[in-house]
Amino acid sequence: MVDYNEEYMRKTASFKGFFFGMHFNKKKIVQVSREEQLARSTELFERIGNLHPLLKNWYRGGSSPKEGLRFNVVENPEYLREEADSWRDDDGHVNPKRTKYVLWNGQVDPFKGALSISYDGHDMTISRPSIKFEDVGFLLLAIPDARDILIGMMRAVVEIWPEIEWGVIAPRNYYLDYRVFNDQQTIGWIGYCPQELTKEMLPEAEDLISIPERGTIVITCPGVMDEKNKEHYERVGNIDTKLVEFGYLPMFRH
């Protein structure tokens, strides 16, 4: 029988953090009412909940994990409204142009697929408005076919929010420190570009998924991206370079 500590250390050693962010166009997202943004969020929970049981339920935070499990926003959307209404800017005031919430999937053990959603729609300069899933590296450990699930999650966000202007899933270290262009985004392992892309344009891509009237989801390499794998690193870099040539790769901070 494997000792728990030994198993824990094995999982810790194999864990790799991944960034999964979907970025809004600031000017467009603030034109969407809070009511509409929350309604779309409810649709998102339903869609990704059909992808895997770990994505089926989402909860507000509480004073403890046990208390947080009382506030299932899927079963009672009023909890989502309360969560969004609870956020204040640094000056303590409610920002009518900002819709923000943070939820978790109720899984306490990270190695069993713990995940959170951070939603922040605004037009401020302090950060990029976005939807972030953290940390999908745990999903990759917990779910054998996680790649297809991550693609499904990205597709759902893109189809629900036309205000999304870029999306990326990539090893966190690569995303933060090892992108080919320091001042620009990357398509990463799995990325969304709001342009129609073809195999003729990106022959290096492992797969391209066209989203009608939205753009393209790009899968750059087979398996799970490893930034230490030369083939993976070069393939992502080549695709990013092509996107720069097309004028499609946005600035890293905007």
Domain borders along the chain are 17-162, 166-248
| DSSP one-letter string for the chain | ---HHHHHHHHHHH---EEEEEEEPHHHHTTS-HHHHHHHHHHHHHHHHTT-GGGS--B---SSHHHHTT-BTTT-THHHHHHHHT---TTS---TT-EEEEEE-S--SGGGT--EEEEEE---SSS--EEEEETHHHHHHH-TTHHHHHHHHHHHHHHH-TTEEEEEEEEHHHHHH--SSTTB----SEEEESS---TTT-TT-SEEEEETTTEEEEE-SSSS--TTSHHHHHHHHHHHHHHHHHT---BS--
pTM of the predicted protein model? 0.93
Q: What pLDDT tens digit does each residue of the chain (254 aa) get? A: 445 677 667 777 778 899 999 999 999 999 999 999 999 999 999 999 999 999 999 999 877 778 878 999 999 999 999 999 998 877 777 788 899 999 999 999 999 999 999 999 999 888 899 999 999 999 999 998 899 999 999 999 999 999 999 999 999 999 999 999 999 999 999 999 999 999 999 999 999 999 999 999 999 999 999 988 999 999 999 999 999 999 999 998 64
